[in-house]
Structure 1
Amino acid sequence: MFQRPRGTRDFSPEEMAGRRWALGVLQNVALRHGFREIQLPTFEELELFTKKSGPGIVEELYAFKDKGGRDLALRPEMTAQVMRFYVNDLSKRPKPLKLFYFGPCFRYENPQAGRFREFFQFGAEIIGSKTPETDAEAISLAYHQLRALGLNKFDVRIGFIGIYRELLRRLKLSDQDSAIALHLLDKGDVDGFRRFAAKCKVPEKMVEHTLSLRECKGGPEVLETVSIGPARDYFAELVDALTALGVDRWQIDLGIIRGLDYYTGMVFEIDAPALGAEKQICGGGSYDLVPLLGGEEDVFTTGFALGFDRVLLALEKEDVKIEDTPLEAYVIAVGETVRKKSLEITNRLRESGISADFDSMRRSLSKALKYASLVGARYAVIVGEKELLKGVVTIRDMRSGEQKEVGISELVGHLRA
């Protein structure tokens, strides 16, 4: 017997109903915020992901050679793909360009609760704008999406990785060494950071100052401890924009250092405490990937990715009811002579926008009704020979058990009532 690969999942019809509903909510909120949807390939050239991803991502890639000898990889995330698409085909469009997308991503990591080798992301990007309002709009979209799903217990934390990049620049660290240092800080590996800083001959005073920044959390007042003035001015404008956009709970947390190496300015994360150790459900920030992907100019972008699977798990932890779309009508033919008519009735219901199925196994009435109950049908539509002669069918309410005869011409209106 074949088993599914480790770190992957199968989804039942009931689970897919919930996933479709949740995705629909995310998409609708994005559309209301002026974003437009794109779709991206599942695999890309390997170098797209190795060129600017952090060391942790590169180590987890599913990479392979195709039959033509080309080095390819399943996508570990989708931001680099969006910017590749932008450089190739979208760069002449009016700015800002607001895009969203959804799909599976792949990383070879140790599967555990809330962490899989195949996982799903919903992402959004605002391309071509570098203002506090742009950053606030990205945070606002993620915030209002989670609220629309019904999630109540989540924390929005906002940082500024530009502070760390400026410190590392002053220390004259190479791009590669800076990436390693930021990766260690992002993972909270304080001892590893100390060892690496010592190897790079970073003064102990600067090491302690850098580590102390990670503890700066709270309101705008925490920025008074930051020696880099532009960060303070930026956050003041960001806070005003967030308030105007209805984002009413957040905190500044300079301990946020995104593991992907292309973030340059604002970074943010959203946590769902109910998930425990794997509580992060969203992460993003501002960056400029265009020059690295062959673009001719700097194009600043702000975006984020929602961990779709973790968001659903957080909803489950909060007992949020995920909407389902049950089968509205199950049509049962009682007798050979009415079988064709039952199919016609099923088709008429479907064309009228009513979800309908029919008994294709030619079961007895009692067994067909039992099946209708098991699949959660709202109504059973019983097509009998005698009733058909009168131009009626019998409708059975599968919740109450009540039955009544309804004219075939009135069936659609009755089911919609």
Structure 2
Amino acid sequence: MFQKPKGTRDFLPEEMKKRKTIEKKLRKVFDSYNFSEINTPTFESFELLSKKTGDEIRTQLFVFRDHGDREMGLRPELTSSVARFYINEFKNTPKPVKLYYFTNCFRYENPQAGRYREFWQMGSELIGSKKPIADAEVVNMAIEGLKEINMDFEIHIGHLGVLKGVFEKYNLSDDEGNEIRRLIDKEDMDGLKSALSRIESEKNIEISKKVFEVLDLKGGKEVIPILKEKLADFESSVAALENLDSILEFVPHDYVINFGIARGLDYYTGMVFEVYGKKEGARQVCGGGRYDNLIELFEGEPSPAVGFAYGFDRIMLNIDDFEVENESIFVVPVKSSELLLKECLKIAKTLRDSGKSVEVDLMGRKLNKALNYANTKNIKKVLIVGENDIRDGKVSLKNMETGEQSLIELKDMLNI
């Protein structure tokens, strides 16, 4: 017997109903902000996919050569593809360019809770504005999407410029700064202390205290003036705090300021945020921030940009008690006859034309077995079509939850 590939999933009808319902609700929020949906190829050149990270990402991707001996890879996320798409199609479009996507992505990694080799992302990119209100719009949209689906979550917001200003003051190299950021991102405190100690020894500086002052301070907007006072001599850090303060003026939601958010990708340049659910093993459901150098990295004109992506599968894990009502209607004849079957099809067409989901019994079952089938499919409403009732312009409506059955006029069917 054939089995599905490792790290992939089959979705049963009930799960797909849940996923499509959540997807629809999230799309509604993206559309409400006038973001336009796009899609990109499932595979791109490996050169594009490795542009941000270098060749070391090869072991994490599905890489192959096409018949023209060109090296390709299945997309591990959408930011690279959207950057290419923007440069190809939107660079001369009036700014800002506001795009969103919902699609599958692929990573070759060990499957575990909340991690798959094929997974789905839904995200946005706002390109062309460096104003604080643009950052706020993206943050607000991410928050409002999760509120729309009634998910319990907590959002942490930081700014990479705060620590970057500390690194600059102590003359750390880009490699040293990136090493510290990666250790912070991995929450490897022992590794972080070791790296800072080594750097202090090599440069004859004392930076650890300042780094941990920044990392340890968490809370609401009140932490910004506190940290500005602690970093008064760090001009770049103060400027980053003022930028974050300006952004948060436009965010009317609860949040936690946390400068320990490093976002593992080196191309982030300013405000960053992560959203956490309650499900162990699938806590981080969303991440994003500002990346003003991204378009330039992909050989486009310098363009400020900010965006985020939901981990759609992790969202689903965090709302696993979510149920979708089956609103379908089952139409069944009292007995199997050509006349009644034709009437069933007429009724079904009328209901479908009005936008309802309708199933007609296709198996020639006896009525009691047809009703049992409706129960197994969790169908709540059954229309029973009989010869005498049809002649009178009526049909029986059975409520499968209560067991109640009543005659209704055919002309009233659309109201059930």
TM-score by length of 2: 0.89
Letter of the structure 2 residue corresponding to residue 126 of structure 1: L
Moved more, 218-227 or 135-144: 218-227
Offset, 1:179: 4.1
2:331–2:385: 8 Å Cα contact kept in structure 1? no
Report the Cα offset of residue 180 of structure 1. Answer: 4.4
> Residues 159 and 266 of structure 1 are in contact (CA less than 8 Å); yes or no, is this contact kept in structure 2?
yes
Alpha-carbon spacing, 1:172–1:221, altered in 2? closer, same or farther (3 Å):
closer
Counterpart for residue 215 of structure 1: 216
Please name the residue that 1:313 is paired with. Answer: 317
Deviations, residues 205-227 of structure 1 (Å, cap 9, x unaligned):
23553354322322323422332
1:52 is aligned to 52
Which of 232, 257, 260 is the matching residue for 1:255?
A: 260
- Distance across 1 between alignment mates of 2:265 and 2:133: 23
Pair 1:367 & 2:369 matched: yes
1:205 equivalenced with 2:206 (yes/no): yes
Residue type at the aligned position of 2:96: P
- Say if 2:107 is the partner of 1:146: no
- Answer with 164-173 or 82-91: which moved more: 164-173
1:57 Cα deviation (Å)? Answer: 5.3
Q: Which residue of 2 aligns with 1:293?
A: 298
Kept in 2: contact 1:39–1:101 (CA 8 A): yes
Aligned residues: 404
User: Are 1:266 and 2:271 an aligned pair?
Assistant: yes
1:96-127, CA deviations, whole angstroms, 9 ceiling, x for partnerless residues? Answer: 11111111111222222222222211101111
Write the letter of the residue equivalent to 2:361: D
> Cα deviations across residues 167-212 of structure 1 (Å, max 9, x unaligned)?
5556666656654443233112344445666489455523553354
Q: In the TM superposition, what is the alpha-carbon distance from 1:12 to its structure 2 partner?
A: 1.1
Question: Unaligned regions of 5+ residues in structure 1, if any?
Answer: none
Moved more, 337-346 or 205-214: 205-214
Q: In the TM superposition, what whole-angstrom CA distance separates every residue of 1:285-313 from its partner, at most 9, and x where no partner exists?
A: 00031111121x21011101111111122
Match of 1:88, as an amino acid? Answer: N
Determine the C-alpha separation between the residues in 2 that align with 1:223 and 1:13.
51
Q: Distance in 2 between matches of 1:314 and 1:212?
A: 33
Alpha-carbon contact 2:396-2:406 (below 8 Å) kept: yes
Q: State the alpha-carbon separation in 1 of the partners of residues 32 and 86 from structure 2.
A: 22
For 1:358-384, what per-residue CA distance to the aligned partner results, in whole angstroms no more than 9, with x for missing partners?
Answer: 111111111111111211222212222
- Counterpart AA for 1:19: R
Q: How does 1:12-411 map to 2 (within 5 A)?
A: 12-53=12-53, 59-151=59-151, 153-168=152-167, 178-193=177-192, 198=198, 201=202, 203=204, 205-207=206-208, 209-218=210-219, 219-224=223-228, 225-226=230-231, 227=234, 228-242=237-251, 246-247=252-253, 249-272=254-277, 274-288=278-292, 289-295=294-300, 297-316=301-320, 319=321, 321-332=322-333, 334-338=335-339, 339-408=341-410, 410=411
The DSSP-based 3-state class of the residue aligned with 2:206 is helix
- Measure the CA separation in 2 of the matches of 1:46 and 1:282: 25
- The structure-2 alpha-carbon separation of the partners of 1:202 and 1:387, relative to structure 1 and needing over 3 Å to count, comes to farther
What code does the residue aligned with 2:249 have? D
Question: Which ranges of structure 2 fall in alignment gaps of 5 or more residues?
Answer: none
- 2:10 maps to what in 1? 10
Task: State the one-letter code of the partner of 2:162.
Answer: I
8 Å CA contact retained: 1:270, 1:281:
yes
Task: Describe the SS at the equivalent of 2:382.
Answer: strand
CA distance in 2, matches of 1:27, 1:84: 23
SS of the equivalent of 2:280 reads helix
Counterpart amino acid of 2:250? Answer: A
Per-residue CA distance 1:303-353 (angstroms, 9 max, x = gap): 01111111122223xx5x443343133333623232222222212211121
- Percent identity reads 39
Q: In the aligned structure 1, how far is the partner of 2:137 from the partner of 2:13?
A: 35
CA distance in 1, matches of 2:335, 2:203: 84
TM-score (norm 1): 0.89
| Separation of aligned partners in 2, 1:199 and 1:388 | 87
Change (3 A) 1:22 1:178: same
1:25 is displaced (CA, Å) by: 0.9
Paired with 1:303 and 1:59, the residues of 2 have a C-alpha distance of: 26
Deviations 1:128-166 (A, max 9, x none): 111211111111111111111112x32111111123444
Give the counterpart letter for 1:306 in structure 2.
Y
Whether contact under 8 Å (1:63, 1:72) holds in the other structure is: yes
Q: Answer whether contact 1:159 1:253 (CA < 8 A) is retained.
A: yes
Whether the aligned pair in 1 keeps the contact of 2:334 and 2:366 (CA below 8 Å) is no
1:58: Cα distance to partner? 5.1
Q: Distance in 2 between matches of 1:210 and 1:59?
A: 33
Q: Which amino acid aligns with 1:232?
A: L
2:413 match: 414
8 Å contact from structure 2 (residues 44, 75) kept in 1:
yes
Distance in 1 between residues matched to 2:338 and 2:47, nearest whole Å: 65
Q: Distance in 1 between matches of 2:55 and 2:158?
A: 21
Q: What is the aligned-residue RMSD (CA, Å)?
A: 2.5
CA contact (8 A) 1:331 1:346 kept: no
Task: Decide whether the 8 Å contact of 2:333 with 2:384 is kept in 1.
Answer: yes
* Change over 3 Å in CA distance of 1:195–1:33 after alignment to 2: same
